Amino acid sequence: MDQGAARATVPSPRAASDVFDDSGSGLMDYVKLGRSGLEVSRLCLGCMSFGEPGRGADGWTLPEEESRSVIRAAVEAGVTFFDTANVYSDGGSEEIVGRALRDFARRDEVVIATKVFGPMRTGPNAGGLSRKAIMTEIDNSLRRLGVDHVDLYQIHRWDPHTPIEETLEALHDLVRAGKTRYVGASSMYAWQFAKALHTAELHGWTRFVSMQDHYNLLNREEEREMIPLCTDQGVGLLPWSPLARGRLTRDWGTRTARTADDGYGDSLYAGTAGTAEADRAVVERVARVAEARGVPRASVALAWLLGNPTVTAPVVGVTRPGHLDDAVTALGLSLTPDEIAELEEPYVPHPVAGFD
């Protein structure tokens, strides 16, 4: 697939010593989020895995003490960017993240991002992006996080049942009220995102600074429309599932505790016979490049993403300390053009996945 449109120039990351490095380790890089003035770590800690098992839909999440260990390790590694959502563990993730960051970090030196869209209860106005839902859920998220504002408030999905004007004006009012500093979006079609950007500009409302989308070596459909749009508009890309739910880090077909209880992940990568064959080839090539380099497979997959200048920070889920080490290793790994071509060559078009 032609990558030309997706690899335009955006601001380059600066060394940790230039910005923030309490530990003196010099491991982390920092970069502006798109064309905004917000500076974030080059890795974003995805917090979906934090929550008491059994609370909400996920049974594979980490209880609080284990979650706190991961968050503390991330802070010590220089991570300043933390992404959660109201629906993760039915609000439990926000509670755990808020308590941990109060204990392990200074509020003005971390970037807290959360999301709104999914229903948090039953009945009318339980979810979506109406003005009522947004105004209710921001206050609930702030209460669970224990803060008076978040830095990035993101719409988790597109709401086909609410006029985009209503959603955008409500988000703008949150910025004016000081409840969030910036607003971002997540998986949707490029025409929908273009409409939102244009509508905000037309009315003088706060503009989205980021797009958190489904993008990795096993699903590169965003390269067709969304990434060129973000590059053109100066929107920072925050890929979720950068390791394809771990599929890029292990031998093909290997099952884990999470995959045994991850129906949504299965739906993302169900594919067809043709895509499965191509996906297996990609996984095997990640393993081959990693072995040749003497680095973990996760580091190779993340280095490939970080090589795209529109990507600000992959949203990396961590359930063990080694996962964080692999992610940090990727920051210092520059793939050669031949390695990139080897990783990309087997890819075939995939069905759109992750928009619902």
Residue 107 burial (CB count, 10 A): 13
Q: Would you say 76 and 115 are in contact if contact means Cβ atoms under 8 Å apart?
A: no
Q: Would you say 280 and 353 are in contact if contact means Cβ atoms under 8 Å apart?
A: no
Q: What are phi and psi of 77, to 5 degrees?
A: -80, -5
* DSSP-assigned beta bridge partners for residue 187: none
Secondary structure (3-state) at 154: strand
Quick one: which of 97, 98, 182, 170 has its CA closest to 129? 170
Q: Would you say 97 and 129 are in contact if contact means Cβ atoms under 8 Å apart?
A: no
| Range list of H helices, the chain | 16-19, 64-76, 92-104, 131-145, 164-176, 190-203, 226-233, 263-268, 273-293, 297-306, 321-331, 337-344
Q: Which amino acid is at 266?
A: D
Q: Would you say 228 and 310 are in contact if contact means Cβ atoms under 8 Å apart?
A: no
Q: Would you say 29 and 16 are in contact if contact means Cβ atoms under 8 Å apart?
A: yes
Catalytic positions, written as ranges: 88
